[in-house]
Amino acid sequence: MNHSKESRAKLLLRLVKGSMRFFVASILCMAIMSLSEMIVPQVISMTVDSVIGERPLEMQSYLRVPLEALGVDIAALPAYFSQRLWALSLVVAGLALLSAVFRYAATLATNKGSETLVKNMRDKLFTQLQKLPFQWHNQNQTGDLIQRCTNDVDMVRNFVSMQLISVFRIVIMMCLSISFMFSLNARLAWVAVAAVPIIIAYSTIFRLKIEKYFFEYDENEGKLSAIAQENLTGVRVVRAFGRERTEIEKFEAMNQLCTKLSLRLSKLMSLFWALGDLVSGLQVMLILVLGTVFTVRGEMSTGNLIAFISYNGMLTWPVRELGRVISEMSKAGVSISRVGHILSSQIEQDAPDATEDPIQGDIKFENVSFSYDGENTIIDNVNLTVPQGKVLGILGGTGSGKTTLMLLLEKIYAPTEGRITIGGKDIAQMRTSWVRRHIGMVLQEPYLFTGTLQENISITQPEATLENVRAAARIACLDDNVQGFAKGYDTIVGERGVTLSGGQKQRSAIARMLMQHTPIIVLDDSLSAVDAQTDAKIRAALNRSFGDATVIIISHRITTLMRADKIVVMDSGRIVQEGTHETLSQQEGIYRRICGIQEAVREEETQ
């Protein structure tokens, strides 16, 4: 799916789509709840003026019409209730019960909608992250992505379930309370309503500043999460190099900045709420003073004043809440944009007519060039043929482009120029998942997931039996080691395989790759962490199990490459030498030089 850039409103609508029915139900329940609350002051006004007092009963049309339709003699109600005040208590209690029932229903619907929204957002984000290109992940810090998928998701959830849903209740409460207030005393109602545009105006002004401050705070908090994530992941490296003090200082510096930004935001919010209290307090004071004056003059009844004050209280909260929603909208807007950055990013896409052609035949790199940024060339016009069923060795220094060349073969990246074919078919026209499923790759730094050793080895074949797993482990020369573990293949490897040695992790990754039974195998310096003797055993076992698979071996060890059918030497993204071990060892160049160095080292070790 191609996510184009969306406005915040459109993105929010898309996010709440799956939970919309719950929020609609909540709004309807809030409407009924608000209406029942609005009737109570009318009952109190009638009781004070017409039941206890002697003022003729004046009933609003929304109550009078239904009662008259039921055949109720409205004029006789004051006398009836004056003898039965308990009945009025039952009416108020009934309205309170009705309000409580629908408040419960509204809260329940809101909570269901909220949790559904969070689930849908998390599912969308995780699915999107799985589909985004590898290069995109390289450009975005893991800690910041975690921040977007946790804190920002919660911010959006809170805004929708608490603030945004409150908007509908606020509008309902404001419309009803203002309507009732105007029916009681228009002049006093105008005084009450005058505070609304003032609160909305300063809330809008504050919103712009709050958004700016919160964006800066949220971005730096993401960096703080990234520092914590990197240190937890690389804790052994930190300890090994004695960088604890340096890392602590770096964390504390960023934490201090986040605290400073948070305090600045808190000061702004404190000023915002203090201003809201001042405006609301002045408004309530004016209503009390003017209402008392109108009552003394006989322009309002005591009951109407009590009802008006009740409605004003009902208006004051929604107006202040509306100001809060406007201010919180800025925070939510930042979080929606940060979540939207992930959801709107371009995912990996196959060609419209992508095929699933058989992965067999020669592999050819035809004039292949690649650059990460369009400026620095990593692969420079490589032409290379790997015959089917043969073994290709690749030698080169760090940064020579060896691994990048293989990542292009597996469609992790796409060539900037040229093309890669398998059996004459351009892999750019094949489904990416299809190509990757048929290329088994073992990286120099394999990643193992938290779980048992058996689960990690059989990750591509979950239905595999223990014997299948052991068979692959034997080829990788791992089975003997595992038998020495207390729990065998049920051993928990820990996060990133932390409980295993470097060589054991590499051999686990080789066993995992062998479970795929792919026609193309790539070993990217995947034996660098094992000793030379174990290296030789693994290579011998792999040679017996490869069958007719095409094998590409990247290594710095000449002994690992010397039996390959063809060896290429790379330097600065180019192939500078090509041939067999015998021919290359006789030529002047990188291969012969490295061969001589390693031979000298072996001689020193044997002496």
Give the model confidence (pLDDT) of 333-383 as tens digits.
888 888 888 988 888 888 888 899 888 899 999 999 999 877 788 999 999
Domain check: are 267 and 158 in the same one?
yes
Domain check: are 309 and 434 in the same one?
no
CB atoms under 10 Å from CB of 363, counted, come to 22
Domain check: are 324 and 382 in the same one?
no
Per DSSP, the three-state class of 451 is coil
The verdict on residue 477 lying in a domain is no
Domain check: are 433 and 310 in the same one?
no
pLDDT in tens, 470-508: 998 988 888 888 888 888 889 888 766 667 887 888 888
Give 326's strand partners. none
φ, ψ for residue 122, nearest 5 deg: -65, -45
Segments of 546-599 assigned E as strands? 550-554, 566-571, 574-579
Of the chain, the percentage scoring pLDDT greater than 90 comes to: 17
- Transcribe 413-435 into DSSP letters: S--SEEEEEETTEEGGGB-HHHH
Domain check: are 275 and 417 in the same one?
no
**CATH code of 14's domain:** 1.20.1560.10
Give the residue from 343, 376, 410 where a domain finishes: 343
pTM of the full structure = 0.69
The verdict on residue 489 lying in a domain is no
Give the residue from 308, 343, 378 where a domain finishes: 343
Angle of helix 244-296 versus helix 195-233 axis, rounded to 10: 160
The verdict on residue 88 lying in a domain is yes
Range of the domain at 98: 8-343
Alpha-carbon distance 205 to 427, whole Å?
Answer: 55
pLDDT in tens, 223-248: 888 788 778 767 767 777 677 888 88
Domain check: are 157 and 296 in the same one?
yes
Domain check: are 320 and 369 in the same one?
no
The verdict on residue 337 lying in a domain is yes
Cβ atoms 500, 511 nearer than 8 A: no
Give the residue from 300, 321, 343 where a domain finishes: 343
53 vs 463, higher pLDDT: 463
Domain check: are 398 and 298 in the same one?
no
**pLDDT above 90 (res 385):** yes
pLDDT in tens, 548-559: 889 999 988 888
The verdict on residue 312 lying in a domain is yes
Domain check: are 256 and 215 in the same one?
yes
Domain check: are 145 and 241 in the same one?
yes
The verdict on residue 496 lying in a domain is no
The whole-chain average pLDDT of the chain stands at 83
The verdict on residue 450 lying in a domain is no
Alpha-carbon distance 536 to 257, whole Å?
Answer: 53
Q: Token digits for 34?
A: 């608000």
**pLDDT above 50 (res 2):** no
Domain check: are 191 and 244 in the same one?
yes
Q: Token digits for 408?
A: 């292009």
Q: How many domains does the chain have?
A: 2
Q: Which letter does DSSP use for residue 400 in this model?
A: S
**CATH code of 567's domain:** 3.40.50.300
Domain check: are 275 and 414 in the same one?
no
Q: What is the pLDDT of residue 459?
A: 87
The verdict on residue 429 lying in a domain is yes
Using pLDDT thresholds of 50, 70 and 90, give the confidence band for residue 61: low
The alpha carbon of residue 231 and the mean position of all alpha carbons in its chain are separated, in whole angstroms, by: 21
Alpha-carbon distance 582 to 593, whole Å?
Answer: 14
Alpha-carbon distance 164 to 186, whole Å?
Answer: 30
Of the chain, the percentage scoring pLDDT greater than 70 comes to: 90
